[in-house]
Amino acid sequence: MSLNSAIEWTQTTWNPVTGCSKVSSGCMNCYAERIARRLKAMGQPNYAAGFRVTLHPHMLELPLRWRRPQVIFVNSMSDLFHEEVPFSFIEQVFEVMNRASWHRFQILTKRSARACGLSSKLPWSKNIWLGVTVEEQDCLYRTEDLRKTNAEVKFISFEPLLGPMAALDLRGIDWVIVGGESSPNARPMSAAWVLKIQEQCRLRGIPFFFKQWGGKRKKRAGRVLEGKTWDEMPLVG
């Protein structure tokens, strides 16, 4: 958990689940896996199992104790819709998010098929946003799954962006994030890929958030695109 997250598009992270497994090319240099190994070595109790999927019931009600409204990234160190997370536990996470109505919760998944399949069984209050990660063309099917869900705000994170999006359909999408990979083995991102996505957002009036260029030294590379930073967010009540 972090009350002052370093992730540019959120404020706070909440991890009732930790650990994950690789499902696509964007997972190759997973930042969460690196952090989990470090936290295990430091003796952090929630990471005793390293990066194996682990449920933390004692973390469930944490957002209810945060009285100041926050934008909260749910499971920054996992994927809520991972196959090893029981539906009963997902229900408990949603119950907390519905009770903590003063916060905005951001769920980001690569398991779009499971999210879509479970969507009708879950209570989607207006403060629960759902996003999918799309790192390359072959992952665009996740946007189709996302459109079928009952989330009030739907977003796409093109991070790490690993290739051009030649047939991008943003119908029904409320927010777009783009970012390059950051790791010791970071794969490069072309400015042309970013600008193409930005243009599609502009044409549809979709808020565009440019997170970073990434690379081995992401702070040095910065966040400036075409002479400015882009921190647009959905306008929601």
Instruction: Give 70-93 pLDDT, tens digit per residue.
Output: 999 999 999 999 999 999 999 999
The CA distances from residue 190 to 66, 140, 210, in Å, are 40, 18, 13
Rounded Cα distance between 71 and 55, Å, is 22
Query: Dihedrals φ, ψ of 197, to 5°?
Result: -65, -45
- pLDDT given at position 4: 76
**Within 10 A of 217 (CB to CB), how many other CB atoms are there?**
11
- pLDDT given at position 236: 74
Rounded Cα distance between 111 and 117, Å, is 10
- pLDDT given at position 2: 55
Q: What is the torsional sign of CA 13, 17, 23, 25?
A: positive
- Low-confidence spans in the chain with pLDDT less than 50: none
Rounded Cα distance between 53 and 98, Å, is 24
58-64: Cβ within 8 A, 24+ apart: 59/1, 59/14, 59/15, 59/16, 60/16, 60/92, 60/93, 60/96, 61/96, 62/1, 62/14, 62/16, 63/14, 63/96, 63/97, 63/100, 63/103, 63/105, 64/96, 64/99, 64/100
- pLDDT given at position 61: 97
pTM over 0.85? The answer is: yes
